Structure 1
Amino acid sequence: MFGQLSARLGEAIGRLRGRGRITEEDLKGTLREIRRALIDADVNLEVARDFVEKVREEALGKKVLESLTPAEVILATVYEALKEALGGETRLPALQDKNLWFLVGLQGSGKTTTAAKLALHYKSKGRRPLLVAADTRRPAAREQLRLLGEKVGVPVLEVMDGEPPESIRRRVEEKARLEARDLVLVDTAGRLQIDEALMAELAHLKRAMGPQEVLLVLDAMTGQEALAVAQAFDEKVGVTGLVLTKLDGDARGGAALSARRVTGKPIYFAGVSEKPEGLEPFHPDRLASRILGMGDVASLAERVRALGLEEEVPKSAKELSLEDFLKQMQNLKRLGSFSEVLGLLPGVPKGFQVDDRALKRLEAIVLSMTPEERKDPRVLNGSRRKRIAKGSGTSVQEVNRFLKSFEEAKVLMKTLEKRKGRGLMGMFRR
């Protein structure tokens, strides 16, 4: 997501790079391009106008017309405006000794999957969640949550067809009490579109159960339509926060940039993949940084630490073996696709892609070597290279290119050592 917006903003600001002082017309032209980029990304028109006006005022306040580095001043100003538009500071639901949260939204928004992801997220933090499949009309929806609950290891209480809210409340309270569950996540009924019957049911269920949080799950790929859905749910039911799903999708991203301003509700979480672990707290500053191509090392560092990879690095680049190289490649795969990981690093060109299939071939080459060969590639003569090529389904030329790349990687690792830690994982040590 945000690929096109990122590129457009980068182009608009990039035109000022390498220039000395700029004129007022230069600034107007840059702001005009930024406004067009936002509107083309499906950002709400009023939000786009206010955003550009804020950037203009801040830029003039920082005397960008007199600056010798106007591009850097504009970039910093746009970053601050983006962060503010996305919510400013990170906000999360307040946790109490006992918690009851509703998840509401249209069918297909990712609500049920998000319920399971939230359960896994808080389970990993020591909470004892309980999932409630509260769609009284669609048994298939209840079955979906039951299967997801099994996958993440969280119990699911299923309502019965046509069960009244008061009965649901009593059964939920009893199960939560008997099993000492301190976070109840209620997956409410979804519909293909907003209707009065849906809203009346939700309002009745809310009155009966009294949730502390009502989280509206929005599909970020639906654009402006998501904002209308948010306003309707807030008006009829009352919403305390938002969860944006499919932020890893190929959409223009306008909903994410507009949701906070239009609804007035904080964005608590973002869905970043289909995996059960693919839910992250929403960090406005990090997303603003990614949109502007400044990377998101903080999020990457959290992934590294969560997987316990920060210590899994060789002592020095000088001692780096092919066994170490293989291990780090496998560790990187656990963080996500290589293109995704590179996208979190600053300085990587926008749209830069890595062929994961080609990387698998490199992995196969190393796996076709003996432990001795991985430890000391200097023993790899012609006959050994032929054997490795045959065993990995590659050619001798590919094996030769890989070995050359390995030596170049050692040079890169030496460079990283001079920065912080050793190796790529070492960049993220506390």
Structure 2
Amino acid sequence: MNDQRTMIGPTREEATMAENKNDQTGRDLLPAERQDMILSLLTRQSVVTVTELASLLNTTEITVRRDLTILANAGLLKRVRGGAMSLSGTTTRAGSLAPSFAAPVPAPDGISDIPLPAGIDDPNGAKPVIGVMLPEPSFFWPNVIESIRDTAGELGARVVSRESSYDKIDETEILDWIAKEPSLCGIILSPSGRPEIAERTWDWIAHSPVPVVVVERDQPVFGTCYVDSVRTNHHFGVRKAAVHFLQHGHTRIGAAFSDTPTSGVIENGWKHILNDSDRIDCPFILDGIQPYDTSGVDGIVDKIIDTGVTAMLVHSDYLAIAIAQVLERRGKRVPDDVSLISIDGYATPSSRPLTVLRSNSKELGEICVRTLMQRIADPEAATRHIFVDPTLVDRGSVATIA
């Protein structure tokens, strides 16, 4: 199960992502961005070297070593001579990692068998092109892009993609570049979570020369541009987490959320549950704390111990891992003393067996392509917003209490 490769550099796709990102932003990566990319890379291979990371991140080896030290001190990776390793040696009490994959989510009715519409081929015989603009490298988006490529290929189309950034970058420049493709038939994209950036992107979408499908983003509340979208149903996901906790006897549950483009949706879903029912006592909700913010993670653990919660809902995976590490240093074990459910579901199989809510990147990518094909085939159809439920993967980090 664990990747046994050593001394492996970034893949061509990862190197291209980093190169494109630096080209687009014209700046050095921020420490948080570098550290996110290091953690993301360690979800796909077990070992990285300082030299490889310096090249991928376009920075110095001294800076990389400093980042690795910060992440190691937070308990998110293991330092080794010349580089770092993922925490793949962590096992369950039974001595083995729990299964990392669950059954795929079926596509919604009416989507799975949509063929490539006739009449969109280039006059010169070129394959129709699907443009893709999704955020910078992470453990989630590359899998979505791979699924988009696979599905497009099965339908006779090809994909042209560029990565956007979570930072302040003009996404319309990327979209203008994609729009120059002569055989472009549609675009799949995820606008920035920053309102000041997203406003221009949504304006571009409103005047797009081809159909657009938006993935993992809702349109602005008072926006006038209505396009098809495909999203993880995070509101239903947190309901799954709440039910799982309750089934194991937990009613006093805390929550902590990193600052990500989807954290607001997840947090709102949790608050809806608390407002609609009195079955859960949630003494605190902490947000905006990153996993490598050691003082912030210590503060979360202080709250856990001081309030006596028996369970925690956490986003993201790495924040959950950091919390578990600090709990154990304080003499508290997971799940014996504190149960955890993490919302991400990608990093934990190679690091720590936590019960997770995981978005299905393969299904999201496939449904995006088929939704786009349906829009091309029937431009006047009603706008569709498709939600894919996340899967709850039980890896035993929720204990049953009396």
Shared fold (TM-score, shorter chain, > 0.5): no
TM-score by length of 1: 0.27
Report the structure, 1 or 2, having the larger helix content.
1
Q: Which has the higher contact order (CA 8 A, sep 6+)?
A: 2
**TM-score w.r.t. length of structure 2:** 0.28
Q: Which has the higher strand share?
A: 2
